[in-house]
């Protein structure tokens, strides 16, 4: 299979552009036992494709999954520009996180880097770290990741999140506690 042009490479996967499609290929890890490696890649691939499908079902703008195999999947290519840290991006991330969390999905890395703007619409990409959870702690940790990339627009991020989330105030409150623990650990030289 012709994967196309390599456009990004991470520790877990390589991203290829092939005409109007994106192929996410999970790399083999030679240091792992072959059977374990295959099972892990297959499960991570399946989970990410499932998360994209679920996000699409609840109405979020994400790439459509076209084909899924054991170590790669093909999805629709979203042409556009990467979002930047701005009030508008903070508003969209707050809304998107709330909708994901209301449906039990933790994105894991919803930052401007993982949003593409096409025709004034913010599309969410890269569900590689996503998982299902309804725990307040997991939601708060997810929100904290977004906060770190949008600190200068935190008021917009939090108000957008709280307005659209079932447990918004509780999640923001827990996020502040987590942030305090991290700050305390850093002050102790950890």
Alpha-carbon span 149 to 125, nearest angstrom: 16
| Cα–Cα distance measured from residue 190 to residue 173, given in angstroms and rounded to the nearest whole number | 24
Choice among 37, 71, 109, 141 that is catalytic: 109
Strand ranges, E, within the chain: 5-9, 13-18, 21-26, 65-68, 72-76, 81-82, 105-106, 115-118, 121-124, 131-132
Distances (CA, A) of 152 to 7, 34, 98, 124, 176: 29, 45, 20, 21, 16
109 given a catalytic annotation: yes
Please identify every residue annotated as catalytic. Answer: 109
């Amino acid at each position: 299979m012709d994967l196309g042009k390599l456009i990004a490479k991470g520790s877990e996967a390589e991203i290829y552009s092939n005409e109007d499609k994106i192929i996410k290929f999970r790399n083999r890890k030679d240091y792992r036992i072959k059977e374990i490696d295959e099972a892990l890649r297959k499960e991570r691939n399946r989970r990410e494709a499932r998360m994209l499908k679920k996000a699409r079902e609840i109405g979020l703008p994400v790439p459509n999954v076209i084909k899924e195999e054991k170590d790669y999947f093909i999805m629709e290519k979203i042409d556009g520009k990467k979002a930047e840290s701005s009030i508008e991006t903070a508003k969209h991330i707050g809304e998107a996180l709330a909708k994901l969390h209301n449906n039990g999905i933790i994105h894991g890395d919803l930052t401007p880097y993982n949003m593409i703007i096409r025709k004034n619409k913010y599309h969410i990409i890269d569900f590689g770290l996503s998982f299902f959870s309804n725990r307040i702690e997991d939601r708060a940790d997810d929100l904290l990741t977004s906060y770190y990339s949008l600190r200068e627009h935190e008021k917009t991020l939090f108000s957008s999140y709280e307005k659209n989330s079932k447990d918004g105030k509780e999640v923001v409150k827990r996020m502040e506690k987590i942030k305090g623990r991290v700050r305390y650990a850093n002050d102790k030289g950890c």
